[in-house]
Amino acid sequence: MNEVVETLTKIEQNYKLFQQQQFSFIRALEHTREEAHDMFRPVSSIVQVQCYKDHHCLNATDRRILNMFISLCNDLRSLCQKMETVHVGDSVTNGLLEKCKVLLNDSNDLAALRATYPHGVVNYLSLEEARHRYGGVVSLLPIVIDSLWEWVTHSKRHTLYVVSHGHATAKKETRTSQTPPAWHFAAQTSLSNKNTVQLQEKDFKKFLAANQRPQQKAPWKPPGKHP
């Protein structure tokens, strides 16, 4: 889990650098779309950006920023695969991962995707750009990153619950194992009663011996015949 958090933190830092260059990203898309004679279609998928970079990019500045976007998408896709192996998952975490994998699919349609508050990426666009061209593609990364952080939070909470629940169960089992069974108490009680009876019989015999009257001797008679 720590490795996942570190990787996601690093990706988020790289995204912040990319976000600071959003104007350059939009200009690169403008240049490549114009070169591709594709000015009417909105930028609605990762593979579309990849195609612009590979076949219609004429300068290093545009290629660098487009490649930065593609690299971030690839890093997030790899992280999703790693997350599946780190945590078994439940309905919440599985749903979050599935959402991210769909969004990061190369051919997924991003046209209707919009990042909302606290993200301002859509607000930085002009009205025309936000509505018809780039609103979806600039919203992809912040939405996926937020979803993955939500995955981390839920997974940690779930793990903490499992650990605390297991600890409580172990304590209960320990207390149960330390409590002698009922038959043990019964055996102890029976043995104690037996010892008490034996002790009472012994004391009673001593009492009789100490308080028994001595046998009286017959009176002395002279030798000879007696009637």
Please state the pTM of the whole predicted model: 0.71
**Measured between alpha carbons, how far is residue 87 from residues 71, 78, 97, 100, 110 in Å?**
25, 15, 11, 16, 28
Tokens representing 90? 């439940």
Lowest mean pLDDT among 14-23, 35-44, 125-134: 125-134
Amino acid in position 7: T
Q: Give the list of residues 6+ apart from residue 152 with CB closer than 8 angstroms, or none.
A: 1, 4, 5, 8
What letter would DSSP give residue 122?
A: T
Tokens representing 13? 């830092």
Q: pLDDT value at position 212?
A: 46
Amino acid in position 148: L
**Residue 27 confidence (pLDDT) above 60:** yes
Digit-coded pLDDT (tens) for 143-166: 999 999 999 999 888 776 555 555
pLDDT average, residue stretch 197-220: 50
**Residue 211 confidence (pLDDT) above 50:** no
Instruction: Please say whether the beta carbons of 134 and 108 come within 8 A.
Output: no
190 phi and psi angles, rounded to 5 deg:
-65, -45
Q: pLDDT value at position 190?
A: 55
Q: pLDDT value at position 67?
A: 98
**Residue 209 confidence (pLDDT) above 60:** no
Mean pLDDT of the chain: 81
- pLDDT band for position 89 (cuts 50, 70, 90): confident
Q: pLDDT value at position 168?
A: 46
**Residue 47 confidence (pLDDT) above 80:** yes
**Residue 215 confidence (pLDDT) above 60:** no
d(CA 83, CA 11): 14
Q: Which residue has the higher pLDDT, 89 or 138?
A: 138
